[in-house]
Structure 1
Amino acid sequence: MATTTERMGFFTDTSVCIGCKACEVACKEWNAIPEDGLTFTGMSYDNTGGLGADTWRHVAFIEQRKPVGLQDAEVEHDAYEGLDVLGMASDASQGRDGLRWLMASDVCKHCTHSACLDVCPTGALFRTEFGTVVVQQDICNGCGYCVPACPYGVIDKREEDGRVWKCTMCYDRLGDGLQPACAKACPTDSIQYGPLDELRERAAERVEQLHEGGVTDARLYGADPDDGVGGNGAFFLLLDEPEVYGLPPDPVVTTRDLPSMWRHAGAAAATLIGGLTAIAVATGLRGRRR
């Protein structure tokens, strides 16, 4: 499906995420996603662990023995305007060896170059008019080709029915002019939804603001249209290296080499056919001579 001239997306500003998991709850409620265990892992206060067929939004809790730099965030988010979340965290961490929490709400990246679209044999995965990537469960045959194709490990198969599931960016809500459920429920505007170009501009300004405030580790992830997946429809402001959040540092669309592979396979087949033809002709000429 052709996209509109204005691609929509998510910008997740992890610097103002408070780990409330309201986005996880809203996502489950709106999309009628089954409960996924609520298991206490013993490794973290995070009880969902990661993205999966039954977890389309996942808030990671990351503990670090690292001090948080004081800064004047001046976050312009309605009732939270002027709230210095990072500064508060720094004050609270004093006397506990500089312990800080990194919290980040992860989601499907809705890549510009989506390997899952390339490998789906039934057309169950398609790109919407908003530029997002959606799975049509009534067409999915459960082949699972898209699962290893995703460079982020987002798509997952639901064992109960064998089909794959992931974030749709609330496609049904977007058609009615509504925000995705997770963005609507986020109390700090950590999850922001809107035209992708506008979000990228806003995110760049936010990074600059954090740098000026002393948070030099702040960086954007997935916002570069020239990266290995052509940029993401859902990108993030991180406060540490991507690996800390369980994200690949340099993702690449896994099907990028398919065209050249087919060309090489075609050339090899042509060479083989040519060789067999030459052998057949030579054999025939020998037979005639005899």
Structure 2
Amino acid sequence: MSASGEGILNVMMRGGDPATEAGWEDAPPRMGFFTDTSICIGCKACEVACKEWNEVPEDGLDWLGSSHDNTRHLGADTWRHVAFVEQRVAAPREDEQIGRGADEGFRWLMASDVCKHCTHAACLDVCPTGAIFRTEFGTVVVQDDICNGCGYCVPACPYGVLDKRESDGGIHKCTLCYDRLGAGQEPACAKACPTESIQFGPLEELRERAAGRVELLHEAGVTEARLYGEDPADGVGGDGAFFLLLDEPEVYGMPPDPVVTTRDLPAMWNRVAVAAGALLVGAALCFGGGDRS
């Protein structure tokens, strides 16, 4: 089995299982995350477990001043980021005040963000060294010993996930605990989540479970519940890590309509080839016509 040889050609392959397209034979089911933010309590157990297992450096723990968020965003030293969003809401009616103050007037939205392990991964497309590869589980991993820190993948990611670590000059992000998956274990963050807000398993099963969860919430009157990143027809071919949100994705710091940034590369190369061909034809006509005197 081999996962090499993807490079820039990954963007030209559409549909099907990404691990199979990457060259893995008899690949297992694609694995991923479903994060149900409606039951996230913001405990940050996922952040701690991720750092401990993957030996991710401490990243400052700087309080924002406007939130309980102390890691700000995903980065080379933050592979799981728990966002805290405080929202002003209408005060509840008297018959809805159980467990809430009458003058409360706000709610917390909490969500544990992570690399999306896109079906069409622009970071993989632009990596010149092959440091970024598609695993047999369909996830996207950066190999530290091959990465040269060029940074091409950083602006290529539509989610702003990849980042360079100043201490070693390399690019780092979530691996979906590739080493644990190979040993038949679940990722550290999902293992540590006390509410099962972070759920791990075969991606298709997670999508079915998530659809059922949204339907249940809608029946309970939580009509704002929606899925983000689960649709294989979206701009990145669907995410390997998707979410149930209770508001627009922008509220959580996620792009509303992400598109693989290398989407137009095949068409661009086709135009370059056509232009080069026309130039060669023109040159041949100019210099190959012989003496016309």
Same fold (TM over 0.5): yes
Partner of 2:291: 285
2:177 aligned with 1:154: no
Letter in 2 for 1:285: D
Distance 1:273 1:5, change over 3 A: same
Alignment of 1:6-17 (within 5 A): 6-17=29-40
Partner of 1:203: 210
2:213 aligned with 1:213: no
Contact 1:69–1:215 under 8 Å retained in 2:
no
Residue 100 of structure 1: CA displacement?
A: 0.2
Residue 159 of structure 1: CA displacement?
A: 1.2
Distance 1:232 1:68, change over 3 A: farther
Residue 167 of structure 1: CA displacement?
A: 0.2
Partner of 1:139: 146
Residue 117 of structure 1: CA displacement?
A: 0.8
2:99 aligned with 1:91: yes
Letter in 1 for 2:79: W
Residue 69 of structure 1: CA displacement?
A: 8.2
Letter in 2 for 1:64: Q
Partner of 1:129: 136
Question: What SS does structure 2 have at the residue aligned with 1:92?
Answer: coil
The superposition leaves residues 213-249 of structure 1 with CA deviations (integer Å, 9 ceiling, x where unpaired) of 0000000000001111000000000000011111111
Partner of 1:73: none
Contact 1:69–1:214 under 8 Å retained in 2:
no
Separation of aligned partners in 1, 2:233 and 2:288: 51
Separation of aligned partners in 2, 1:53 and 1:229: 22
Q: Which of structure 1's runs of 4+ aligned residues deviate more than 3 A?
A: 67-70
Question: What SS does structure 1 have at the residue aligned with 2:206?
Answer: helix
Partner of 2:19: none
Residue 67 of structure 1: CA displacement?
A: 4.6
Partner of 1:78: none
2:59 aligned with 1:36: yes
Separation of aligned partners in 2, 1:102 and 1:93: 17
Separation of aligned partners in 2, 1:113 and 1:242: 20
* Percent of residue pairs identical: 72
What stretches of structure 2 of length at least 5 have no aligned partner? 4-23
Contact 2:156–2:262 under 8 Å retained in 1:
yes
Alignment of 1:19-34 (within 5 A): 19-34=42-57
What stretches of structure 1 of length at least 5 have no aligned partner? 71-86
Q: What RMSD over aligned residues (CA atoms) do the two structures have, in Å?
A: 1.7
